[in-house]
Structure 1
Amino acid sequence: MAQIDRAEEPTTSENPTAAVVGPGAIGTTVAAALHEAGRTPMLCGRTARERLELQDAEGLVVVPGPVRTDPARIEETVDLVFLAVKSTQIDAAAPWLAALCHTGTVVCVLQNGVEQESTVAPYVPGCPVLPSVVWFPAQVQPGGSVWLRGEARLTLPDVPAARVVLEALRGTRCSVDLAVDFTSVAWRKLLQNAAAGLMVLSGRRCGMFGRADIVRLSLDYLRECLDVARAEGAVLGDEVPQEIIDSFQAYPADMGTSILADREADRPLEWSIRNGVVLRRGRAHGLPTPISDVVVPLLAAASDGPG
């Protein structure tokens, strides 16, 4: 995993100004957490909206907008940008990053994968790019509101830039953990995301992990991913594949995943950063990846065609 660039010191403030780029499920959850604490962020996205809505078991949180849609009309930069667009949308988000960032602005990337820093850094020279692991299940509902189905938590690497995020989310519904060994945490989450990609190929939700044949396939795939993760420096035990299967089985049978939602909506899939990375890194280390050799081309075709 690429290391965090420490060449630029992050902007520090007791009350950092913040923007959320990409107010989807994850972005809305973070925006609601900031708003509840009196730190309402600037909202930036493709679709104009007057407000965001987050629903959980305790009620509804309304985040006042508007959602801005024109980066050319941004007149002030911020201390912290939460980049919550999919990895397939980074190019489209580049004008927002250029408009919102000054030297030292922290860009916290709320995306899947283990390549967040290397993919985003070229768009924000002079700014610390902070990868994260997102641990909460949030789903966009018909009409655009977001349903949060569990507690919100982020894991960040224990580096100076993380202090800005800690300050922004201090005392909110979104807790923040700092990990000295962020590589291991990020790869563990990647294993979970990689297995979730099997839902796309079956067109089914978490209930499919109740099938013995799917469990066998998933465990074989996860062990393959685990070998690659260890070659990349992750310290993960042999028990991790079964723990991931247990977590899928503990979810409601109708629980989906973002990559499945994208497939159902015929949107481009994050197949490269969730599954393709295992194939790429495995080949780089000379490791056999027979299941990835099948899964990755099928996901790529489902995403990009042709046909």
Structure 2
Amino acid sequence: MRTEPQPSIAVVGPGAIGTTVAAALHEVGRTPLLCGRTARSQLTLHDGDRLITVPGPVWTDPARTDRHGIDRPCDLVFLAVKATQVEAAAPWLAALSGPDTVVCVLQNGVEQLAQVAPHCPRGQFLPAVVWFPAQAQADGSVRLRGEARLSLPDGPAARVVAQALHGSRCAVDLAADFQALAWRKLLQNAVAGLMVLARRRAGMFGRDDIAALALAYLQEGLAVARAEGAALGDEVPQAILAWFQAAPADMGTSILTDREAGRPLEWDIRNGVVARRARAHGLSTPISDVLVPLLAAASDGPG
């Protein structure tokens, strides 16, 4: 019986999201090439009581793809670096991508393609909405704190990703209205910015005053999303707030982790974008006007 060859897959940026996707692929026999800034012998994912180990190594030199056994472009590349790291990942994209390579961008925001395309002239770019909470641990492992799921805009490139993850722990939704999903997730990411300024985890949303502030900010963002054409209902702000309130009190978020580690923050693609798009539509954003400069200062200083 003739079998179809397995696609060649790479994960660039084996952090919390990249490790989760790499583990999902490894479990179904599609272990990806691992590419990042820090050399490691393996990746480790904790999912409840389960431990999944993805064999490495994590390669760190995109100029030496010959040493990694790469003699042609990969079929599929998962780009899982943060928006602040795209430029640094550009050599990997150049080394791994060809005209037919699908580059699935696992990043926050609604501007993934505009962020990535200038750094990689080849490949078919595909934005994604990442719905699962995964947190990096102090020992370098990753803890998955929910079911893994991606949403992609329906089309041929998305089906390449869906096939690669078929049968794995990471579900893939092919969305007819991807814009609405992307803006809904953006609103969720944006309100998490409050956690950075408070230096607190999800339990803070149990406070009545924080809940009221979060709801007002979400409603501000909803008006912008609708002006951008996202079909989102009136119930969305309350639903997002309820999600945070139902989360474990100690659950963090990637932007809070970066703040605690003193790293640059993705403040512009998660929060600044709301204010920027609002100005284009002549909308008032009084909460964003306070929140965004504080997040920018927390990220970039000076001081």
Match of 1:23 in 2: 14
TM-superposed CA distance for 1:59, in Å, is 1.1
TM-superposed CA distance for 1:123, in Å, is 2.0
Q: In structure 2, how many angstroms separate the alpha carbons of the residues matched to 1:137 and 1:122?
A: 29
Q: In structure 2, how many angstroms separate the alpha carbons of the residues matched to 1:135 and 1:170?
A: 17
Asked if residue 83 in structure 1 is aligned to residue 79 in structure 2, the reply is: yes
Aligned with residue 233 of structure 1, among 229, 235, 245: 229
Q: CA RMSD in A?
A: 0.9
**1:16–1:164 contact (8 Å) kept in structure 2:** no
Asked if residue 71 in structure 1 is aligned to residue 62 in structure 2, the reply is: yes
TM-superposed CA distance for 1:259, in Å, is 0.3
Unaligned ranges ≥5, structure 2: none
3-state SS, counterpart of residue 43 of structure 2? strand
**1:209–1:248 contact (8 Å) kept in structure 2:** yes
Unaligned ranges ≥5, structure 1: 1-12
Q: After the TM superposition, list the runs of 4 or more consecutive aligned residues in structure 1 that deviate by more than 3 angstroms.
A: none
Alignment of 1:45-194 (within 5 A): 45-75=36-66, 76=70, 77-194=73-190
Match of 1:32 in 2: 23
Q: Please tell me the residue identity of whatever aligns with 1:17.
A: S
Q: In structure 1, how many angstroms separate the alpha carbons of the residues matched to 2:5 and 2:185?
A: 31
TM-superposed CA distance for 1:16, in Å, is 1.7
**2:94–2:122 contact (8 Å) kept in structure 1:** no
3-state SS, counterpart of residue 156 of structure 2? coil
Asked if residue 248 in structure 1 is aligned to residue 244 in structure 2, the reply is: yes
**1:184–1:235 contact (8 Å) kept in structure 2:** yes
Match of 1:218 in 2: 214
**2:202–2:244 contact (8 Å) kept in structure 1:** yes
Q: Please tell me the residue identity of whatever aligns with 1:65.
A: G
Q: Please tell me the residue identity of whatever aligns with 1:39.
A: R
**1:72–1:99 contact (8 Å) kept in structure 2:** yes
Aligned with residue 277 of structure 1, among 264, 273, 277: 273
- 295-304 or 75-84, which deviates more: 75-84
Q: In structure 2, how many angstroms separate the alpha carbons of the residues matched to 1:126 and 1:174?
A: 27
Q: In structure 2, how many angstroms separate the alpha carbons of the residues matched to 1:210 and 1:41?
A: 40
TM-score by length of 2: 0.96
Asked if residue 259 in structure 1 is aligned to residue 255 in structure 2, the reply is: yes
TM-superposed CA distance for 1:142, in Å, is 1.2
**1:16–1:167 contact (8 Å) kept in structure 2:** no
Q: In structure 2, how many angstroms separate the alpha carbons of the residues matched to 1:202 and 1:14?
A: 51
TM-superposed CA distance for 1:53, in Å, is 0.4
Q: Please tell me the residue identity of whatever aligns with 1:90.
A: V
**1:15–1:167 contact (8 Å) kept in structure 2:** no
TM-superposed CA distance for 1:14, in Å, is 6.3
Asked if residue 292 in structure 1 is aligned to residue 285 in structure 2, the reply is: no
The 3 A distance-change label for structure 1 pair 16 and 217 is same
- Alpha-carbon deviations, 1:110-164, whole Å to 9, x = none? 0100000111112222311100000111111111000111110000000211011
- Alpha-carbon deviations, 1:215-265, whole Å to 9, x = none? 111111000000000000100011110000100000010001000000000
3-state SS, counterpart of residue 114 of structure 1? coil
Q: Please tell me the residue identity of whatever aligns with 1:63.
A: V
**2:81–2:107 contact (8 Å) kept in structure 1:** yes
TM-superposed CA distance for 1:104, in Å, is 1.2
- Alpha-carbon deviations, 1:61-120, whole Å to 9, x = none? 000000000000113221110000000000000000000011110000001000001111
3-state SS, counterpart of residue 62 of structure 1? strand
**1:14–1:167 contact (8 Å) kept in structure 2:** no
Asked if residue 43 in structure 1 is aligned to residue 61 in structure 2, the reply is: no
3-state SS, counterpart of residue 85 of structure 2? helix
TM-score by length of 1: 0.95
Aligned with residue 191 of structure 2, among 173, 192, 195: 195
Q: In structure 1, how many angstroms separate the alpha carbons of the residues matched to 2:175 and 2:119?
A: 25
The 3 A distance-change label for structure 1 pair 72 and 186 is same
Q: In structure 2, how many angstroms separate the alpha carbons of the residues matched to 1:126 and 1:266?
A: 33
- Alpha-carbon deviations, 1:275-297, whole Å to 9, x = none? 00000000011000110000000
How many residues get paired?
295
